[in-house]
Amino acid sequence: MRMAVLLSGTGRTLDNLHDRIADGTMQGSIEVVVANVVDALGLKKAKKYGYPVHYASTDDEINSILQDYDIELVLLAGFLKLYHPPEHLKHNVLNIHPALIPSFCGDGFYGIHVHRIVKKKGVKVSGCTVHFANEKYDEGPIVVQKSVPVYDEDSPDDIAERVFGAECEAYPEAINLVHDKGIESYWK
Ligand code: GAR
């Protein structure tokens, strides 16, 4: 599968996906990386890895870039805006969210904010979710979820680190599943 990565931040998820392709444990190829933040560290990393990189501030700009690369699957990798794909890719966008959807998700729930609220609520289990994106935040068919324990003495940063460890397993696993089962099987 020809994949595009969209990101806004540090590109830690990109690092993981790049490593998994390099060590042969994940299907697909990254054809282009697009950031909606001009100085995102993830863009610099992508350039270092040798991927074509672009900055684009609107969905229209992103979508016209994707057209040039004949993209089949769009991977949101810490992309912190609601993304509207072109019609032919409306079922082909995967997102990773750092909580167990439908908990701790939706507008305003991203990154460390999620783990702060998880800590405040005192839940004992959190985790991550890889799902197909639709026109709302953190909705759409779920492909993989992984849970992690939350201990009383954890700080939000501790929870974030443990969840990110789970993310590094969940995203490649989900991409491999989608590759094997086909995208449309998740939308039936
Ligand atoms: C990841 O933890 C991902 O789950 C989260 O951003 C992090 C990656 O960004 N995404 C969301 O919160 C989306 N709702 P980074 O590479 O900038 O750290």
In contact, 171 and 138? CB cutoff 8 Å: no
- Residue-level pLDDT at 6: 98
Q: Closest ligand 1 atom, CA of 14?
A: 16
Residue 140 lies in a domain: no
pTM of the model: 0.97
Q: Is 11 in the pocket of ligand 1 (CB under 6 A)?
A: yes
Residue 38: what residue type?
V
Q: Is 13 in the pocket of ligand 1 (CB under 6 A)?
A: yes
Residue 122 lies in a domain: no
Q: Which domain, by its residues, includes 18?
A: 1-90
Per-residue pLDDT tens over the stretch 3-17:
999 999 999 999 999
| ∠ Cα 167 65 107 (to 5°) | 45
- Residue-level pLDDT at 148: 98
Residue 115 lies in a domain: no
- Residue-level pLDDT at 173: 98
Residue 46 lies in a domain: yes
Query: Domain holding 65: CATH number?
Result: 3.40.50.170
Residue 39 lies in a domain: yes
Ligand 1 center to 8 CA (angstroms): 9
For the chain, list residues with pLDDT below 70: none
Q: Is 12 in the pocket of ligand 1 (CB under 6 A)?
A: yes
Q: Is 140 in the pocket of ligand 1 (CB under 6 A)?
A: no
Residue 34 lies in a domain: yes
Residue 165 lies in a domain: no
Residue 9 lies in a domain: yes
Q: Distance (Å, rounded) from C-alpha 120 to C-alpha 149?
A: 15
Ligand 1 center to 104 CA (angstroms): 14
Number of domains, the chain: 1
